[in-house]
Every structure is written in structure tokens, then in C-alpha cells.
Amino acid sequence: MSSLNEAPQIGRFDGIKNKLMQREKLTDTAFLLTITITLFFTIYALAVIFLGDKGFGKVQMFFNLFNENAALIVIACGLSIVMVTGSIDISVGGSTALICTSCIVGLNKYGFNFLTSLLLALAIGLAFGILQGLLIAYLEIQPFIVTLAGMFLGRGLVALIEVNQVQVANPAFEKLSGARIEIPFLGDYNKKGIFLQSKLEYGVIVALIIVVLIFFLLRKTSLGRSFYAVGGNPQSALMLGINVKRTRFMAHVLCGLLAGIGGFLYLFHTRSGSVQQATGLEMDAISASIIGGTLLTGGVGNIFGTLFGVLTGGTVLLIVTAIGSQDPWWPQITRAAMLCFFIILQSVICSRKRNKSE
Amino acid sequence: MATHDNTINHARSASIIRSIVKHNIFIPCAFLILLLLINIFINPGFLKVSMGTDSNGHPVLIGNLINILSNATELVILAIGMTLVTASSKGQDISVGATLAISGGVVMRVLCGNETQPSSLHAPIIVALLLGCLAGMACGAFNGILVSRFKIQPMIATLILFTAGRSIASMAMGGLKPKAVSSFGYYGNFIPGFPIPTPILITVLVIIITMLVLKFTNLGLYTRAVGVNAKASSLNGLNPSLIKFLTFVVLGLCVGIAGFVQSSRVQTVNPFTIVPSIEMDVILAVALGGNSLGGGKFNMTGSIIGAYTIQTLTSMLMTLNVNTNAVPVFKAAIIVILVVIQAPIVKAFFSALMADLKSKNNRGKGDDTYVVVE
């Protein structure tokens, strides 16, 4: 995020140059998206071929990939938005943990129902988004420091509310979250030869609708376009008459709102809450965005790329678990290694492009 | 004439530097004194230091102050490294807790081998210390390469080890949680017969070495130069990438020493719970020390005092029976307040406000005199 105080570089051909760069970036987005989608299908196909006996051949396995990652998809969408704007948010894991625990305490002790707990989740997410957005956009504090504080604040508040791990003990809520959609005509035969219909959680539908909504927001609305403009070059965005501060603020508010929805989906799926819950969720979301072709420097990104980034990450984790290493440390290390690989790849691509343009 | 101007400039810049230093150390000192006063208010005997005996009958110093000084060791050592990293790379290393777990894990693995309750040490302690430092420096080098060679923002780059580090530490220990023999505990507690806790001595040693290094080498100057303006420093013949890399390796060394002290203190390392959220404390110490988290100039003394202040705060919260997991709430609040105060926009706003008030006052006076004259 470059500072607004730098001297603007006004040149005769800047308009044309910007236009050219815009075109280049758009093709870049398509290019990165193609890579991501190909990567996902290649990895999944390889898993089906080589680990078919571990369940990868089953249709349900494919749907489970969505079932497990519905919350992450929504949260990663929010992170893609802030990353496109050139900022970052690492508080999503902490706010997810806070949402889960506080909703469960509400459900168990204070007679919350589905709707009130959803509202609480959204309120917590929005509160994080608005506070962090104010500090980052209007006071121009480094996003990392603010959201790092947000992350510890979230986890610390969990401990203030409830130190021990808690489970949902609310029959109505459990019934709702246990509901599944049965997919017609798709399913697997189990060992006894009985046909089992594939099942999908309702959270997945919500997540996919949100992906489509965010796609249209980023593509078709002026707010969405200004996210890209601010992330690409805040100076030019300012000259175009975009309210840079408000745009950054809105990005964080939107990310907070999506973190709220994602946190609720997380609760809906796991039905438990603890201080150490959702550790590393922020990194999963960031790496999903990066795998999906969102540049850390801002200005480039595609929400469908993020979706496939989440699915790719999920598949790799499934493979690591399926290969059968009993050691508990491999999933986390694999995640980090994947993030590391893609960050370095991105950095190399960026620097090569910079050299070419110079 | 020119020399005259130079001396004036020199004197002026010297006085400016002096005032900045005064101002920078003022914040952490004031905060520390405030905390101590609150502590004395809560517990009138807070400052009392007395001679006691430990479980083996050796004479030891007992007291809250001694505990704070001793427990702050890891924080102080990490803050020293973090100050350099912050100054040079304009970002912080958020993986220090995880890498500390790695180096602590390596120390334990070297000392205990594959046994959970070894009857004797498997290797000399100095070897364990060196390997632990080496592990820390390797992690620092990894972060440093990502930051300096691949130009990744420090916090993104260190996010990798932040997440994976504790798992790597668990892997380095082979999933075991060994307990070392008690003679290893001398370095984190007391050497029998010597009343001052060993960590305090280690801290003093590290601080002296740091001050000597900053005084007699160009590390401090170069770090400042790279942090203030990397391009200008590169035009002056420095290699900004190398300096950034070096600061990360120095931080890695600090992490190694801190990991050694910590593992000796607890004598058993649980990689997932050791030094929880210390990265927050360290960043807080650096910010409290009057250092800008945006890099550039740094103030080592401020960071060290900041670290002791944070430790005082932690122990105060502990005496107030705040849950360990809830302590970060207060620290997060303080760090937000600190960065808000530091933010250029807020500073500009307040200075504008002050100027406005002053001019209004002046105008008021002017009006009065005008009235009097009339």
C-alpha cells in the first residue's frame, strides 16, 4: 500500500499507459484463473487415479470438499476483496473463534435461536470490519498491525467469555445444522451395494450464492471497480475522483461482514467453539486468495480464482491426510509450504513483469 | 563562515537528537512508572526484595521485581532483534513465538535424544545452545530471504512460519515432550549458591553486547539508513537487501538465545503452548519504546524499557487473576491506542488543533490590547 503523500507522476502518456496496463492486467487475471482451475482439476484427477481406494473416486468426497470448506470460501472472498484493495486482514480466524463461542453461549444459556445467533455473528463481524476499517483507512495505520491486534483481541475475548471448549446444546439449532440437501441421481454404492445419495450442506449453497454476488459486485458495480482502482494505484484512483479512504474502509467492512457470515457457517458446520478454534484460518484464506491469482500488491484478483484456490487447498489437505501420515504436524506444514510456494511464485512473476515493462 | 555554520548546525542537530531521545524514552518510562505505582497501590509490598531459600536450601533472591526482571528475559532479547528488523524492513516478524518453539524444541531434542525422562544429558549444553541458535538463525534466514530477495512484505513472509513453526517444532521433537535433568535448569532459574536468577545475568550480557555492537560497528547506522530510505542507502553504496537479511538473522540469533533460556526455565517444551502470543508482546514493546512501526530510526533503550514495561503489565494482570488466554485483549487494546497516537494523521490533527488554539489565544490577546488602546 503506497502512501498518498508521494508526489504524483503526471505524464503525457500516462492515460494510454494505464489503459495498456489495464488490458495486460485483465489478461493476467484470466491467465492466473486458468492456471488455478487447471491446477485444481489436475490435482483432483491425480488423487482420483492414485488414491482412488482412499475414497477419492466417490462423488460424496467431491461434495465433502465443499461441505468442509463452505465457511472458508466465504471468508476467503472477504480476504480477496481487501487484498484487491491492497490491504490485508489477519483477524478473521480470531473473529471466527469469537463468533462461534459467543453464539454457542447465547444458544445454550440465553435462549438464542437461529436468527438471533445469525444476527450476533453478523454484528461481531461488522464490528471488527468497521473498527479495523476506520483505523486502516482513515488513520492510515498499517493494516497488519491493526488486524494482528484484532486477531489477539478476538481470541482473548473468547477466553473472557468461555475458557473451556463448548458444544451447541440447542435441539432446534442442531436439527437445522444437521439438515442436508440430497442431490438427485448422484451418489455412491457402499460396500454392501446399497446406493447412497450424495448430500450437500445448506451452507455450501449460501457460500456459492455469496461467491456469485461478490463476483457481480467486483465486476459490475462502481464500488467493485473502485476496489481494483485503489489497489492498482491509489494515486491514480484519487485523480480519477475515487474516494480512496472510503473505498478502503468499505473493503474492510465488507470483509468483516463476510467474516461474520463465514464464522456463522463455521459454527453451523462444527457446532463447537474454543479459544484455539480456527487457528490458521487467516492463512488458509490468504493462501486460497493467492493461489486463486489475487496479487498481494493489490489491483489484481478474481473471485472464482479464490473459490478454486480454496478447493485446491482443501484437496491438498485431503491428500495429505489420505496418504496416511499419522503425525499431526503435516497438515499445517503442508499449508504453510503451499502458501510459501505460491507467494514466491507470485513474487517471481511480478518481478519478471516489472523487468519486462522496464 | 562555513565552519561557523557547521558548528551551529551541529549544535542544533545535537540538541534536536537529544530532545528526540529524551522524548522517545519518556513514553515507556512514564508507562513503566505508572504501572509500578498501580502495582504498589494494589500490593504495598510490591517492591520488597528479600533473601530466601529455594527447595534445595540454596540462598536466592525473592520478590516481584526480581520475578519481573527474570521473566522479561525472553521479551527483552526478542525486542532487541525485533527493533532492528522493524527499523530496516518497515515491518515486523510475527513468527518469533513459533521460531522460539522451534529453537527450544531443537535444544530439548539435542539434550534428551529420543527419551522422555533421560537420566543424563545426551550432549553438552553448549552444543545444544549453539544448535538452538543455529535453528533460530536458519528460520531468520528463511524469513530474511523471503523479505529481502523476493521483496515480500515482512508480515506476509513471516506468516508462513507463524503458522507452520509450532508444527515444525513438534516434528523436530519427534512428537515427544521430554523433561530434561535439573542441571539444565540452571540457565533459566538459579545456579546453586548464586542468589541472582541466571536469566537476569544473561539479559545483562545480551544488552551489553548489543550496545557494544551498536557503538563499535555500523550495524545500527546502516539499519537506520536502509529503513529511512532504501534507495538512497543503495546509492550510497550500501546493499539494502543484505542489511535486511542480516537484521532477520540477528533476530533469529536472539530467538535462539531466548528459546534456550525459555526451555531451560520450563525444562520441558510443549511447542503448541510455549510463549503464547509473545509476538504481540514483542511488537508492543518495540512500539512502546517510541519506535515507529513503519521503520526508519530506532531507539534500542526504549525497546528494552518497553519490554520490561510489558512484563510488568503481564505480571500485574496475572496477579489480578486474569485468564492467561484473555491477557492479549488488554495488550491488543494498548497496541491499538499506541499506533493511533503514533499515526501521522492523528499527530497532524492534534498539532493543527494546538496551533489553532494558540492562534485563537493570540487573537484574543490582540483584541484585548486593541480594546485597551482604543
What residue of A is the nearest CA neighbor of B153?
A296
| A202 vs B170: CA distance, rounded Å | 37
Distance in angstroms between the alpha carbons of the first and the last residue of chain B = 48
ipTM: 0.78
pLDDT at A18: 57
pLDDT at B23: 64
Q: Which residues pair with A305 in a beta bridge?
A: none
Element of type H or E holding A353 = helix A330-357
CB A33 within 8 A of CB A309: no
Residue A274 is assigned to a structural domain of this protein: yes
Asked if A332's CB is within 8 angstroms of B332's CB, the reply is no
Q: Which residues pair with A57 in a beta bridge?
A: none
Higher pLDDT residue, B360 or A139?
A139
pLDDT at A78: 93
State how far residue A171 is from chain B, nearest Cα, in angstroms: 30
Of B94, B153, B171, the CB nearest to A148: B94
Set of chain B residues whose Cβ sits within 8 Å of the Cβ of A333: 164, 167-168, 171
C-alpha cell at A354: 516489472
Asked if A157's CB is within 8 angstroms of B336's CB, the reply is no
Domain count across chain A: 1
Does domain B25-47+58-323 fall into CATH 1.10.3470?
yes
Asked if A139's CB is within 8 angstroms of B345's CB, the reply is yes
Whether pLDDT at A258 is above 90: yes
Tell me the range of A2-16, A91-105, A287-301, B330-344 where mean pLDDT is highest: A91-105
Place of cell 488513520: A139
State how far residue B325 is from chain A, nearest Cα, in angstroms: 6
Least confident piece of the model among B40-54, B84-98, B247-261: B40-54
Residue A242 is assigned to a structural domain of this protein: yes
Asked if A296's CB is within 8 angstroms of B345's CB, the reply is no
Q: What distance lies between CA A273 and its chain's CA centroid?
A: 20
Asked if B163's CB is within 8 angstroms of A156's CB, the reply is no
Asked if B170's CB is within 8 angstroms of A328's CB, the reply is yes
Whether pLDDT at B362 is above 90: no
pLDDT at B372: 45
pLDDT band at B7 (very low <50, low <70, confident <90, very high): low
Closest CA to B210 of B243, B253, B239, B241: B253
Whether pLDDT at A3 is above 50: no
CB A258 within 8 A of CB A128: no
Q: What is the mean pLDDT of residues B125-141?
A: 92
Whether pLDDT at A198 is above 80: no
Whether pLDDT at A23 is above 60: no
Higher pLDDT residue, B122 or A12?
B122
pLDDT tens, residue by residue, B170-195: 888 887 778 777 777 788 778 777 88
CB B48 within 8 A of CB B309: no
Set of chain B residues whose Cβ sits within 8 Å of the Cβ of A101: none
Least confident piece of the model among A120-124, A185-189, A343-347, B267-271: A185-189
What residue of B is the nearest CA neighbor of A348?
B150
For testing the chain A interface, which of B148, B160, B161 should be mutated: the one with the most A CBs within 10 Å? B160
pLDDT at B135: 94
pLDDT at B20: 55
State how far residue B163 is from chain A, nearest Cα, in angstroms: 6
Whether pLDDT at A192 is above 80: no
State how far residue A336 is from chain B, nearest Cα, in angstroms: 5
Set of chain A residues whose Cβ sits within 8 Å of the Cβ of B293: 142, 145
Set of chain A residues whose Cβ sits within 8 Å of the Cβ of B166: 332
**Which segments of A85-113 does DSSP mark as H helices, in order?**
92-109
Number of residues that this document lists for chain B: 374
A185: domain CATH number?
Answer: 1.10.3470
CB A301 within 8 A of CB A31: no
Closest CA to B294 of B245, B260, B338, B235: B338
Asked if B332's CB is within 8 angstroms of A153's CB, the reply is yes
pLDDT at A123: 95
pLDDT tens, residue by residue, B303-341: 999 999 999 988 888 888 888 888 888 888 888 888 888
Of A282, A329, A339, the CB nearest to B170: A329
| A334 vs B327: CA distance, rounded Å | 31
pLDDT at B4: 61
CA atoms within a 13 Å half-sphere pointing along the CA-CB vector of B119: 0
Residue A11 is assigned to a structural domain of this protein: no
pLDDT band at B21 (very low <50, low <70, confident <90, very high): low
Question: In angstroms, what CA-CA distances link B185 with B116, B175, B176, B265?
Answer: 16, 22, 19, 6
CB A332 within 8 A of CB B162: no
| A269 vs A201: CA distance, rounded Å | 8
| B243 vs B248: CA distance, rounded Å | 9
Whether pLDDT at A121 is above 80: yes
pLDDT at B365: 53
Q: Which domain holds residue A275?
A: 22-357
Residue A12 is assigned to a structural domain of this protein: no
Residue A173 is assigned to a structural domain of this protein: yes
Asked if B171's CB is within 8 angstroms of A329's CB, the reply is yes
State how far residue B128 is from chain A, nearest Cα, in angstroms: 23
pLDDT band at B85 (very low <50, low <70, confident <90, very high): very high
Q: Which residues pair with B51 in a beta bridge?
A: B61
CB B274 within 8 A of CB B262: yes
Whether pLDDT at B296 is above 50: yes
Asked if B331's CB is within 8 angstroms of A152's CB, the reply is yes
Q: What is the mean pLDDT of residues A51-77?
A: 84
Domain locations in chain B?
25-47+58-323
C-alpha cell at A58: 466417490
Average pLDDT score over chain B: 83
Asked if A140's CB is within 8 angstroms of B168's CB, the reply is no
pLDDT at B6: 62
Asked if A156's CB is within 8 angstroms of B327's CB, the reply is yes
Asked if A139's CB is within 8 angstroms of B157's CB, the reply is no
Whether pLDDT at B14 is above 70: no
| A234 vs A228: CA distance, rounded Å | 10
